[in-house]
Amino acid sequence: MAYHPETEAIRAQMQRTEQKEHSTPMFLTSSFVYDSAEDMASAFMTDTPEMNIYSRFSNPTVDEFIRKIALLEGTETGIATGTGMAAIFSTFMTFLSKGDHIISASAVFGSTHTILTKYLPKWGIDSTYFDMNHPEQIEALIRPNTKMLYVETPSNPGLDILDMEYVSALCKKHNILFVVDNCFATPAVQLPFKFGADLVVHSATKYIDGQGRVLGGVVVGRKELIQPMYLFVRNTGPSMSPFNAWVLTKSLETLFVRMDKHADNALKLARHLESHPKLTKVKYPWLPSHPQHDTAKKQMLNGGGIVTFELKGGLNSGRQFLNALKMLSMTNNLGDSRSIASHPASTTHSKLNAEEKKAVGITDGLVRISVGLEHIDDIIADIEQALEKA
């Protein structure tokens, strides 16, 4: 019997032990035992995670989380890592080699930008950025050695939206791997495989956990693409903790309910702030004023839980706004049940120079709100009183 995704997020359980437990069990063990020397020898002959050997290689709890994410995203399998950045780095390292070229949207998370510009060149891998507001630029950037195209949509923190069908067609035409970071949307809001992605990456630390408790990353896709990633993670060690995998698996049971509420609150906040006299711009995918509103409506079930706005007073106003908040948290996380305010220019993207900030749409007055699950009137009231002091 086929179930809706909301039901699968709660009811899909890949295995039960002989105890017949109702809730997903947790296997906190570093290694596993064998019935014979022959079984042990056989286990080490395989390069697949089908037999549990060592929890750096595979673990039943981690496997449960991977399979559930793959099911919700609509693909075959995946690999889990200790953090979202480990998932991104493992993707790059698995599929890129010396002499290769990667095209990336310029609007990417600060640490991803650092990998692309500081670390990949050490191994002879070149990167080129394109403006998400001008995807028609992409084809001219493709080289014979271009092996991957990487995007976040919606992007962090600018909330740019990319037409994935358009980009997927280009990638297929030129035999390029299309990788989408789906962290801001999650499978409760957007399914990149439906629009042609080859691999989907998540920082599970964000909305998938949803309560700011644990770190985690995951990449899902077709088996033939995940197999080399499995070997990379197995041998280099950025594996996910079984405890974190258990927490994240339980979190998936409430993902759809949470994302609906995040989006409902975010849309109400965005509409409320659109005409605020201290702001020059409010950006949210479900506002008709968003530059890619039509694309967002095509690809997303709702607008997600992030709202950004631009303060007229620039850098000083951004800091004054944060200092005046009474309820919203100041932290560099997002996707929490608690509403969070951040100022990218002085925190997550502070290491970018002025030109790089401009390229990714980060101005001195930009504020990012991760809209939580509190009552919307309380969220609006705190932001309003802080704006008065900004």
In this predicted structure, the answer to whether residue 174 has a pLDDT above a threshold of 80 is yes
Mean pLDDT, all residues of the chain: 93
pLDDT of residue 314: 86
pLDDT of residue 356: 73
The string of DSSP codes covering 352-363 is S-HHHHHHTT--
Q: What contacts 384, CB < 8 A, 6 or more positions away?
A: none
Q: Is 76 helix (H, G, I), strand (E, B) or coil?
A: coil
**What is the tally of helices (H) and strands (E) in the chain?**
14, 12
| Contact indicator for 192, 182 with CB cutoff of 8 Å | yes
In this predicted structure, the answer to whether residue 278 has a pLDDT above a threshold of 70 is yes
Do 205 and 111 fall within a single domain?
A: yes
| Contact indicator for 27, 61 with CB cutoff of 8 Å | yes
Q: What contacts 23, CB < 8 A, 6 or more positions away?
A: 250
Give the strand pairing for 340-342 and 329-330: parallel
Q: What contacts 99, CB < 8 A, 6 or more positions away?
A: 124, 125, 145
Across the range 89-115, mean pLDDT stands at: 95
Do 69 and 11 fall within a single domain?
A: yes
User: What CATH number is attached to the domain comprising 279?
Assistant: 3.90.1150.10
Do 215 and 310 fall within a single domain?
A: no
Q: Is 168 helix (H, G, I), strand (E, B) or coil?
A: helix
pLDDT of residue 54: 82
| Contact indicator for 356, 307 with CB cutoff of 8 Å | no
Sign of CA dihedral 94, 99, 100, 102: positive
pTM for this model (two decimals): 0.94
Which residues make beta-bridge pairs with 221? Answer: 77, 199
Do 157 and 279 fall within a single domain?
A: no
Q: Side chain identity at 338, as an amino acid letter? A: R
pLDDT in tens, 44-84: 777 777 778 888 989 999 999 999 999 999 999 999 999 99
CA–CA distance, 346 with 326 (Å, rounded to integer): 20
Do 54 and 201 fall within a single domain?
A: yes
The string of DSSP codes covering 257-292 is HHHHHHHHHHHHHHHHHTT-TTEEEEE-TTSTTSTT
Do 157 and 216 fall within a single domain?
A: yes
pLDDT of residue 349: 67
User: What CATH number is attached to the domain comprising 156?
Assistant: 3.40.640.10
CA-based radius of gyration for the chain: 21
Do 201 and 69 fall within a single domain?
A: yes
Cα–chain center distance at 366: 21
pLDDT in tens, 179-218: 999 999 999 999 999 999 999 999 999 999 999 999 999 9
Q: Which of 252, 283, 315 is the last residue of a domain?
A: 252
pLDDT of residue 344: 85
In this predicted structure, the answer to whether residue 24 has a pLDDT above a threshold of 80 is yes
Domain that holds residue 212: 5-252
Do 268 and 331 fall within a single domain?
A: yes
Give the pLDDT band of residue 1 (cuts 50, 70, 90).
Answer: confident
How many CB atoms lie under 10 A from the CB of residue 154? 31
pLDDT of residue 14: 65
Q: What contacts 144, CB < 8 A, 6 or more positions away?
A: none
Q: Which of 198, 219, 252 is the last residue of a domain?
A: 252
Do 174 and 280 fall within a single domain?
A: no
In this predicted structure, the answer to whether residue 252 has a pLDDT above a threshold of 80 is yes
pLDDT of residue 221: 98
CA–CA distance, 286 with 305 (Å, rounded to integer): 11
More confident residue, 358 or 297: 297
pLDDT of residue 98: 98
CA–CA distance, 210 with 95 (Å, rounded to integer): 30
Distance (Å) of CA 375 to CA 57, 71, 337, 372, 380: 43, 32, 11, 9, 9
Give the pLDDT band of residue 16 (cuts 50, 70, 90).
Answer: confident
Sheet (strand 101-105) strand order:
77-81, 217-221, 199-203, 177-181, 146-152, 101-105, 126-130
Weakest-pLDDT range from 4-8, 136-140, 304-308, 334-338: 4-8
In 169-325 the beta strands, taken as DSSP E runs, fall at 177-181, 199-203, 217-221, 279-283, 306-311
pLDDT of residue 357: 75
pLDDT in tens, 337-372: 999 999 887 776 677 777 777 767 788 899 999 999
pLDDT of residue 381: 98
Distance (Å) of CA 224 to CA 28, 169, 254: 29, 20, 31
Do 234 and 301 fall within a single domain?
A: no
| Contact indicator for 329, 306 with CB cutoff of 8 Å | no
Q: Considering its fold, how many domains does the chain have in total?
A: 2
Q: What contacts 306, CB < 8 A, 6 or more positions away?
A: 154, 157, 159, 184, 266, 284, 334, 368, 369, 370, 371
Do 242 and 363 fall within a single domain?
A: no
Q: Which of 184, 219, 252 is the last residue of a domain?
A: 252
pLDDT of residue 20: 82
Across the range 70-99, mean pLDDT stands at: 98
Q: What contacts 33, CB < 8 A, 6 or more positions away?
A: none
Sheet (strand 329-330) strand order:
279-283, 306-311, 366-370, 340-342, 329-330
Sign of CA dihedral 370, 376, 382, 383: positive
Do 114 and 199 fall within a single domain?
A: yes
pLDDT in tens, 120-142: 999 999 999 999 999 999 999 99
